[in-house]
Amino acid sequence: MVTQAHGKVLIIAGSDSGGGAGIQADIKTVTALGGYAMTAITALTAQNTRGVHGVHAVPPAFLQKQIDAVMDDLGADALKTGMLHDAQTIECVVELAEGPGRGIPLVVDPVMVAQSGAQLLDPGAVECLRERLLPRATLLTPNLPEAEVLLRQHIPGVDDMEDAARALQSMTGGAVLLKGGHLPGDSIVDVLAGPEDVRVYRHARIHTHHTHGTGCTLASAIAVALAQSMSLEAAVEQARHYLLEAIRTAPGFGGGGGPVNHCHTVDRGSLRP
């Protein structure tokens, strides 16, 4: 039995040739959660579980052609950004948010550095991200190192996360999900700060190094839920549960930090004749 995809998500992000993060993780996530994924690729990376071996940026004019082609024909129910690489690329997204994407939920994953340590955002573009794109975000999903760059301050522990999330929320037009996975310990704390309240999520850490692409996956899972008309709180809840199971059932591929299991929602039995 084939079910129709529900919720169109335009993903503006970089490609990961290893398949664990970036556009590849985004497409898998949106599809696994019943949505329809469309893409505008910002950069190509030569990448595997051990690291990023090269980055080839897509010219902004061609990125704009990709965005226009999708929006002119298919439209979108949600927008999601990942690796934006430089200020010109960020401005393409700003133009979308101010034009044909106005009023469409926008999830911004401020990808700056790969898990391997490779720089994925031009340092000179951080101010453009901060001043131009963040005020247009429905939801911002930084990890702690990204939040520290955006706030220009250290976030030493769990007790400081709520204040940091509130400070980031004041920079956006919507909400912030601050992810605490970089802190040590047997539990992980995430903080969702909206215009009116703050919600704290806690869960036991799954001890594994197969967590490549978790940020991309979580942001895309939230974006497709918003495209399917879920509330932000329900979208975050569903996305977190989806990601935790994807980590728990990670296939163990590669010699480094491997990908998660994006397809754990697929009922393989339904494919048998």
214 is catalytic: yes
Q: Using an 8 Å Cβ cutoff, are 106 and 81 in contact?
A: yes
Count of positions (residues) in the chain: 273
Q: Using an 8 Å Cβ cutoff, are 43 and 85 in contact?
A: yes
Among residues 81, 89, 214, 217, which one is catalytic?
214
Among residues 213, 217, 257, 258, which one is catalytic?
213
Among residues 101, 211, 217, 257, which one is catalytic?
211
216 is catalytic: yes
Among residues 179, 180, 257, 258, which one is catalytic?
179
Query: Which H helix or E strand runs over 42?
Result: strand 36-48
Rounded to whole angstroms, the Cα distance separating 123 from 126 reads: 6
Specify which residues 201 forms β-bridges with. 190
Rounded to whole angstroms, the Cα distance separating 107 from 199 reads: 18
Among residues 7, 81, 174, 216, which one is catalytic?
216
Q: Using an 8 Å Cβ cutoff, are 140 and 176 in contact?
A: yes
One-letter amino acid at 273 equals P
CA angle 86, 37, 173 (to 5 degrees): 55
Q: Using an 8 Å Cβ cutoff, are 228 and 7 in contact?
A: yes
Among residues 180, 215, 257, 258, which one is catalytic?
215
- Give the residue numbers annotated as catalytic, written as ranges: 179, 211, 213-216
